[in-house]
Amino acid sequence: MEDALKLYQFLRDLQDELQWLKEKEPLVTSTDLGNSLLSVQSLLKKHQALEPEIQTHEPFVQSLTSRGHQMIRSNHFASEQVSSKVQEMQEKLTSLKDGAALRKLRLLDAVQSQTFYTETNEAENWMREKRPYFASNDYGKDEDSVQGLIKKLEVLQRDLVTFEKTIEKLYSLSHELVERKHFDSENISKVSAATKEHYTELQKLSDKRKQRLIDAKKLFKFLRDADEVGEFIQEQMNIASSEDYGRDVEHVEILIQKFEAFMVTLNNAGENRIAGVNHAGQHLLDEGHPEPEKVTNKVKEIQHTWEEFKELASARQEALHGAKQVHMFDRTADETIQWITEKDAAISTEDYGHDLESIQALVRKHQTFERDLAAVKDQVEAVVSEAKRLAELFPDAREHIEVKHEETVEAWNELLEKAAIRRDKLQQAEHLQAYFDTFRELLAWVNETIAKVTAPELAKDVAGAEALISRHREYRKEIDGRQETVDSFSLRGKTLIREGHFLADEIEDKVKLLHQRWDFLRNICAARKEIYGKRDLSNTV
């Protein structure tokens, strides 16, 4: 009986240990190595917790083994069964320990590979982030913007050089893993090669962008230099296109001498600068610049501008010699035009008076001005007569003479027209003054009535309220009586505006102002009526 009891207790304890070993066996034989650094680190942490647990159970296994051997030595009737179970338990423990050791190694390998993948992914993200700039087709719009892009590229290139250490570190790690036959060696090799290839591509894009920016900088410098030459030519064209033909015969001869000297100097300097543009453009083309059309077009543009200048300069010389023949006529015509201009300035004023008295004074002044125009008329007729005579004497200068003749006549006609317009506007202003008087009267009445309506304080008793209401009715009756006058004023103003009166803006402002104040008066009058009504009701209660 005692041996049977020992056997039962032994087998029960052993079965418990075998059950524990069986439960832990899936943990050490698992093929789950995680799919990210975080997951594999979690698995490793769990495994590291399992190892002490296995070590903790070893003394139990040893104790059971010792009990079993003792039973065998004492010739227990179930010695064979005991021996078999002890051997099974020891084999499972050994298998569990070996499996745990192997899984630990595989998990450590997985940590390294996932670390590699994580760092590689970060490197790929960094390169993806930088790639759009290195692959950008933005090469600036001028020298300043290109210089800014170059500086930005230099910063990124330094980052790229520094980042090479990261690429080398990843390559070294992948090489180490592959060399020691890592279980994921094939994929690690592929990922490492792809990352290195992407970095190489980024370097090539960086070098290409640097060269394109250098080319763009050269192009913009060439364009700027060429534009400066173009501006220089344009400045000379402004001189060559001058409409200054001198004040008199002596002056025009001086202008001819100066222009000839100017052309001698300019031909040498201009040809040298044109040659410089051509040489710079050809140098860019010889270097194989990626935008040859822009270079060629700019060279052609500058050459074309230079040819236009030479044509314009030749025309200027001919015009100066022609101007000399008719300059005496020009002088007479210019003096006449100047006289007309002075008269024109005298009536080119927007002052039409501010009241009836000032308007009538301006009317009298204008009548005197129109009488004085008789002397100007005689001078104009003299210029017209002289123009006809010179046109017959100098047929080649006929067009110029006719232009000056037309300028004189046109200036004279404009003066007569302005004089007539001013006379008409002064008459309109004189008639309009009564309308403005009505405006001032109505506006003053409205403002005064507003003051009356808003002045009283609210009544404190029934008698006071009745008095206020009574006065308010009188104000409303007076306001209603003025409605027709206000409407008539507005209608008259709109008619004047529609007819295009020259003071239409001022009329419109006055109509708007009166309407605003009138509407304001009626609104506050209505508001007061409501207030008085409520106050009266309150006092009554």
The pTM score is: 0.46
Q: Are 34 and 114 in contact (CB under 8 A)?
A: yes
The confidence score (pLDDT) of residue 77 equals: 72
Topology of domain 2-126 in CATH is Methane Monooxygenase Hydroxylase; Chain G, domain 1 (1.20.58)
CATH class of 327-429: mainly alpha
Place of tokens 């009564």: 434
Topology alike, domains 327-429 and 456-540:
yes
Q: Looking at domain 218-323, which CATH architecture does it have?
A: Up-down Bundle (1.20)
Provide the residue ranges of all domains of the chain, joining segments of one domain with +: 2-126, 218-323, 327-429, 456-540
How far is the C-alpha of 1 from the C-alpha of 305, rounded, in Å?
Answer: 128
3-class secondary structure per residue, 244-263: CCCCCHHHHHHHHHHHHHHH
The confidence score (pLDDT) of residue 430 equals: 65
The confidence score (pLDDT) of residue 316 equals: 82
Tell whether the torsion through CA atoms of 81, 84, 87 and 93 is positive or negative: negative
Render pLDDT for 412-442 as a digit per residue (tens, 0 to 9): 888 778 877 777 776 666 666 666 677 777 8
CA distances 538 to 460, 465, 490, Å, are 10, 10, 41
How far is the C-alpha of 258 from the C-alpha of 36, rounded, in Å?
Answer: 87
Per-residue pLDDT of the chain in tens (541 residues, 90 and over written 9): 566 777 777 778 777 777 887 777 776 766 666 666 666 666 667 766 566 766 777 787 777 777 777 777 777 777 777 777 778 777 777 776 767 666 666 766 766 777 777 888 889 999 999 899 888 888 888 888 989 988 998 898 899 889 889 888 888 888 887 888 777 788 888 988 899 999 999 999 999 999 898 888 888 888 898 988 888 888 888 888 887 867 777 887 888 888 888 888 777 778 888 888 888 898 888 888 888 998 899 889 988 888 888 888 888 887 777 677 677 777 778 788 887 787 777 777 777 666 667 767 777 876 777 787 777 788 888 888 878 877 887 676 788 788 888 888 888 888 778 877 777 776 666 666 666 677 777 888 878 888 777 775 655 566 666 777 777 777 788 787 788 877 777 787 787 778 777 677 877 887 788 788 888 878 887 777 777 666 544 444 3
The confidence score (pLDDT) of residue 297 equals: 92
Quick one: DSSP state of residue 136? -
Number of H helices, E strands in the chain: 12, 0
CATH match of 456-540 with 1.10.340.30: no
Quick one: DSSP state of residue 78? T
3-class secondary structure per residue, 439-496: HHHHHHHHHHHHHHHHCCCCCCCHHHHHHHHHHHHHHHHHHHHHHHHHHHHHHHHHHH
